[in-house]
Chains A and B, each alone.
Chain A
């Protein structure tokens, strides 16, 4: 095998290995970018949920402050006239429900006994003792308390505040507003374009109440027996198309978690914690990364194409340079040497080897060979002239 072929094969091998390393690096970069995208989507989902919860908490708190400032409501509450109070606030509650998705309004007695005086959203039920964390926290701090609380069939965001008399110092009870967060999924969908499913922990719900709702509500989200650990209480329209019920949602979840990727869809879940910090549900979501995947693949192809083109150009350049600097000169030098040797062997002892003005490795070898030919020719001349 000629040196030229060996060198070309070596260059090709180096470039093939180089191209393999580049492809590997690009693949690693692809995976790294997708992982970063997953982490970003997860933290973004948690941030969006937190921001939405905070915005709605502010909405509930400001509405609560407005209602507390209404003197007629206060007078009817202090008169303990439940029917008159309900008659007065009921139209207001209907408007609040329609316009602001506020689904719960409570008038609560001071603690003790800490019982409910009036549920505006469910007036037939009252006098039960309050055990909710938000209520107890408001009693304890004397200020606003808010957070998510799991009920029998749903989870609601609640804001509780002490209800003061006209003097502004005497606590006459507590007022509480709340909204079911099933509607969060649609609001988040409008913000992000992602699909969401809101799941609640079965262990925190009441099976009979849930079954009553799902059997009496056409198109209700999910039957109790459909799921192992969670029940779906709210979802965006396309959630069912992208996810199989609770499939992939782990039995316990304490932080934003990736649920994997199918095709170009990333799945993840963020925990929903109540006012006491206990996980009561999960907001699962699907995020389409098709555009990012497509852009990444395109960029990867472009980079690979450019690098391979550069490698080919480099290989051709190296081959041309080696031909010009080494192989062509070696060929020329071999022919020159053969000619000189033939002349010398043929008896032309005044032969000489012409050296090009070159000081590189080949030039040095030619210079040495010229000296050697000169020595042989000189020796032969002396021998043939000897008598």
Chain B
């Protein structure tokens, strides 16, 4: 498991914990994916740690009010 997958999983946990309902989860995940340029929910353990994608993910999370470790 790489950093990229771990960050995505951490972010999805935060989304689900902060959401008020199932549609809210879909909306939040959608916004993150559109902002990051890839579908966050489809990132798997075998996906490589692409520094550019990691940076985009961090930036999108920051802009949408989520906090990632590291």
Give the interface of A toward B (CB within 8 A): 341-348, 383-384
A347 pairs with B41, CB closer than 8 A? yes
Give the interface of B toward A (CB within 8 A): 25-34, 39, 41-42
Report Cα–Cα, A346/B41, bound state, in Å.
7
Residues of A within 8 A of B25 (CB): 346
Chain A interface secondary structure, helix, strand, loop or mixed?
A: helix
Residues of B within 8 A of A343 (CB): 26-27, 30
Residues of B within 8 A of A341 (CB): 30, 34
Report which residue of B25, B30, B31 has the largest number of chain A beta carbons within 10 angstroms of its beta carbon: B30
**Apart from A341-B30, A347-B39, 20 more pairs, CB < 8 Å:** A341-B34, A342-B31, A345-B29, A345-B30, A345-B33, A345-B34, A345-B39, A346-B26, A346-B27, A346-B28, A346-B29, A346-B31, A346-B41, A347-B26, A347-B29, A347-B30, A347-B41, A348-B26, A348-B30, A383-B42
Report Cα–Cα, A343/B28, bound state, in Å.
9
Residues of A within 8 A of B42 (CB): 383-384
Question: Which residue in chain B gives the minimum CB-CB distance to A341?
Answer: B34
| 8 Å CB contact of B34 from A342, A347, A383, A384 | A342
10 A–B contact pairs at CB < 8 A? A344-B30, A345-B33, A345-B34, A346-B25, A346-B28, A346-B29, A346-B30, A347-B26, A347-B39, A347-B41
CB distance from B16 to the nearest CB of A (A): 12
Residues of B within 8 A of A346 (CB): 25-31, 33, 41
CB distance from A337 to the nearest CB of B (A): 11
Report Cα–Cα, A302/B59, bound state, in Å.
64
| 8 Å CB contact of B30 from A342, A383, A384 | A342
Question: Which residue in chain B gives the minimum CB-CB distance to A348?
Answer: B26
Report Cα–Cα, A344/B34, bound state, in Å.
10
Question: Which residue in chain A gives the minimum CB-CB distance to B36?
Answer: A345
Residues of A within 8 A of B39 (CB): 345, 347
Residues of B within 8 A of A384 (CB): 42
